[in-house]
Homo-oligomer: A and B are copies of this chain.
């Protein structure tokens, strides 16, 4: 997959998350590099920012389409309906407006790939101990029993399961899971709490989703870690 964005922050966050999901990600920061990279690696899918230095994203898109039928997802700043129409008009396969959550991006990517390739998106079912999480079905279970997670809780849990034994600050979580660049950090706090309520044996003294004082939160995964499948 090829990711084209001139904003280093966006590129880094998005690509790391996509990689964690199991994709092989090539990056490019401008139009020329994008065209070159597309030629070189022949990606399954291209995620393309509309606003690019040098050549405009739409122009890049047209040139890409001249020579291949690779699916393209367009990213654009602040989603006005006009942009959306323009994007689809040009023939993009899907469209996403910034700021977006990484989960949203992954969902779109999988959706587009599912449509283009057929069924084969790596059915990445996450498993840890008695936990099982199926993103495509949007089902999370503990020992076979379904956990009634809300959308946000699910997103958060998914992210943590994909990045175990790693500490994330509230800011980071807000950026990656929520897709916000700013916002009230207590939002994260509360959602962590609510999630604990549902996944911890004893929510009062968390074992899995622990607090790292002054830093953030960590999802701890014991020795035997078979995350991907």
Which of B90, B99, B101 contacts A94 (CB under 8 A)? B101
Tell me whether B151 and A106 are in contact (CB under 8 A). Answer: no
Bound complex: CA A207 to CA B209 (Å):
32
Contact with B along A1-23 (1 / 0, CB 8 A): 00000000000011011001100
Tell me whether A103 and B116 are in contact (CB under 8 A). Answer: yes
Tell me whether A150 and B88 are in contact (CB under 8 A). Answer: no
Contact with B along A134-160 (1 / 0, CB 8 A): 101111000000000011000000000
Bound complex: CA A71 to CA B16 (Å):
14
Q: If the complex has contacts A215-B138, A215-B151, are A102 and B65 also in contact, measured as CB distance less than 8 A?
A: yes
Contact with B along A173-204 (1 / 0, CB 8 A): 00010000100000000000000000000000
In the complex, what residue of chain B is closest to A220 when comparing beta carbons? B137
State how many angstroms separate the Cβ of A155 from the closest Cβ of chain B. Answer: 10
A window 200-229: CB within 8 A of B: 212-215, 218, 228
Q: If the complex has contacts A88-B101, A101-B88, A103-B71, are A111 and B212 also in contact, measured as CB distance less than 8 A?
A: no
From A85, A137, A176, name the one whose CB has the most chain B CB atoms within 10 angstroms: A137
A166 CB contacts on chain B under 8 angstroms: 136-137
Contact with B along A94-116 (1 / 0, CB 8 A): 10001111111011000110011
Tell me whether A165 and B137 are in contact (CB under 8 A). Answer: yes
Count of chain A residues near B, Cβ 8 A = 54
In the complex, what residue of chain B is closest to A107 when comparing beta carbons? B115
Tell me whether B71 and A137 are in contact (CB under 8 A). Answer: no
Which are the 9 A-B pairs with shortest beta-carbon distances?
A91-B102, A151-B214, A89-B99, A138-B167, A20-B69, A88-B99, A93-B103, A137-B165, A93-B101
9 more A-B residue pairs beyond the given contacts A17-B91, A69-B102, A85-B99, with a C-beta to C-beta distance below 8 A: A16-B65, A16-B66, A20-B67, A20-B69, A69-B103, A93-B103, A137-B218, A138-B215, A151-B213
Residues of A within 8 A of B (CB): 13-14, 16-17, 20-21, 62, 65-69, 71, 85, 88-94, 98-104, 106-107, 111-112, 115-116, 119, 134, 136-139, 150-151, 165-167, 172, 176, 181, 212-215, 218, 228
